[in-house]
Chains A and B, each alone.
Chain A
Amino acid sequence: MADMDLVTKRINAALNIVLFSYPKRTSFGLLIGFVPLILIHTFKSNIEAKGISIDWLHYLACELIGVLLMNLKSIYEAFEGSSIDEAFSNTLKSIEKNTTLSNQEKRELITKTLAAQIDSLSTDQVEKVQKQIIEK
């Protein structure tokens, strides 16, 4: 029997790539891209009169531009990242790449790392609230 964990993990990862990890942004992007598509089609004859031929590639480009526009923040985040995410992802990747650990051990370690992260975030938040109260 196929390892459903691995199969569904791959499918999920592929879907995340297709939807740019943010389905809402991508959907909005497609919706926004539909507007110039309609405009181009409406004024197709006018544009073609100027010597530019319009085909399906232009329509596709409209949709892609819409998606890219809506995902600008995702692209920026991918380049920039945040200190918490980076530190955390480094830890997780080092756990995943470790060949001496079994899958179960890796799972347990990731769970522990997550729990630790939650603890640290809670403490940070309490400290922030404390600071805010003192400043006020």
Chain B
Amino acid sequence: MKIERKHMISILGLLLAGCGALLVAKIIGMSGIKNTFLTSFFGVLIGFVCRELFKKSVKHIQDLEGIQIKNLREKNKKLLKEKDELQNKTSLKIINAGSAAVIISLSISKKIEKKIAENKNQTVVNLFLLSEKKSLLISKFIAMILLMLGVLAMIWLDLGPTCLLPGGILYCLLEFKERILTYRVVNGFFGANAAEALALIKFIHENIDDIGNNSDGGKRKILNDEIKPQPESASLPSEVQHG
């Protein structure tokens, strides 16, 4: 039962609108105004505003993500173009200016190649992490709504502070999961066991259109390189080692 993103955003927006409407209606009621029409009107109005604001902020986040991906692609294209131009210039300078110019051009070309390699580090695992982070962000938002509903239930229905537990525990678990996942990906641990490799292949299967190839036409790197701690002996000076 996969809920589409836009539907989920609408549901969340409606929930938020409901919460906002209830809260405003309660505040108006507490201020002593007994007019039902006025209370309902302002409640619905504020709820509607809350919903629109939420939808706009979600759209803003989506736009930002889109811009980031676009920038990355443009950067890659630009770097490749610069590299090609430099290579052309290099061949011209061989004829015109001699070996000195060639050396300078080659060193710049190497720097650009290094930059391209850095951009290639946007691995499949990193994309998986990005997708998971997005999913966890939505889940955390739901946990916040749950927490908010818990507070409202505690105030109005005398449910007791235990009703805050589902939202609170869920939020903590989600935060912890995000941190653990980020740690594993950053250190190159992620994807090297059966369960995680399966999760990765599922992700690849779902998003094959986006991650089939790298932006420069080559195959995208799959796993991050494992960061290994330096052995103590390597940091010692050679004299000590001999001694």
A residues neighboring B (CB under 8 Å): 1, 4-5, 8-9, 11-13, 15-16, 18-19, 21, 23-28, 30-31, 33-34, 37-38, 41-42, 56, 59, 63, 70, 72-73, 84-85, 88-89, 92-93, 95-96, 106-107, 110-111, 113-115, 117-118, 121-122, 125
Chain B residues closer than 8 Å to A107, beta-carbon distance: 192, 223, 226
Residues of B within 8 A of A18 (CB): 173
Q: Which one of B173, B197, B204, B212 lies within 8 Å of A15 (CB-CB)?
A: B173
Q: Is B149 an interface residue (CB 8 A)?
A: yes
Q: CB-CB < 8 A to A73: which residues of B?
A: 1-2
Classify the interface of chain A: helix, strand, loop or mixed. Answer: helix
Asked whether B112 is an interface residue with its Cβ less than 8 Å from the other chain, the reply is: no
> Which chain A residues lie closer than 8 Å to B191 at the CB level?
110-111, 114
| Smallest CB gap from A67: residue in B | B166
Q: Would you give the shortest CB distance from B182 to chain A, in whole angstroms?
A: 10
Does B69 belong to the interface (CB within 8 Å)?
A: no
Q: How far is the CA of A74 from the CA of B142 in the complex (A)?
A: 19
B219 at the interface (CB under 8 A from A): yes
Q: How many A-B Cβ pairs are below 8 Å?
A: 143
Q: Is B187 an interface residue (CB 8 A)?
A: yes
- Residues of chain A within 8 A (CB-CB) of B139 are 23-24, 26-27
Contact with A along B207-222 (1 / 0, CB 8 A): 0110010000001001
Residues on B lying within 8 angstroms of A by beta carbon are 1-3, 15, 124, 135-136, 138-139, 142-143, 145-146, 149-150, 153, 157, 159, 162-163, 166-167, 170, 173-174, 176-177, 180-181, 183-184, 187, 189, 191-202, 204-205, 208-209, 212, 219, 222-223, 226, 229
B198's partner among A41, A56, A59, A92 (CB-CB below 8 A) is A92
> 8 closest A-B pairs (Cβ-Cβ)?
A92-B194, A27-B142, A27-B139, A23-B139, A107-B192, A5-B189, A15-B177, A73-B1
- Return the contact of A115 from the options B138, B167, B196, B222 (Cβ within 8 A): B222
A88 in contact with B198 (CB, 8 Å) = yes
> CA separation between A20 and B202, bound complex, in Å?
16
Q: CA separation between A121 and B187, bound complex, in Å?
A: 27
Contact (Cβ within 8 A) B205 A84: yes
The answer on a CB contact under 8 Å between A114 and B222 is yes
A34 neighbours in B (Cβ, 8 Å):
146, 149-150, 166
Contact B177 A19 (CB under 8 A): yes
Tell me the minimal C-beta distance from B146 to chain A in angstroms: 5
**Which residues of B have CB within 8 Å of A63?**
166
CB–CB A31/B142 < 8 A? yes
Q: How far is the CA of A74 from the CA of B195 in the complex (A)?
A: 15
Q: Are B194's CB and A95's CB within 8 A?
A: yes
With a cutoff of 8 Å between Cβ atoms, the chain A residues found around residue B193 in the complex are: 9, 96, 110
Instruction: List A contacts of B135 (CB < 8 A).
Output: 23-24
User: Which of B15, B150, B199, B222 has a CB less than 8 Å from the CB of A118?
Assistant: B222
User: A15 contacts which chain B residues (CB < 8 A)?
Assistant: 173, 176-177, 180
Decide: B189 and A9 in contact? CB cutoff 8 A: yes
The one of B173, B177, B194 that contacts A96, using a Cβ cutoff of 8 Å: B194
Alpha-carbon gap, A9 to B201, bound state (A): 18
- 13 pairs, CB–CB < 8 Å, chain A vs chain B: A5-B192, A23-B135, A27-B139, A27-B170, A30-B166, A34-B146, A41-B153, A72-B1, A110-B197, A111-B222, A113-B197, A114-B200, A121-B204
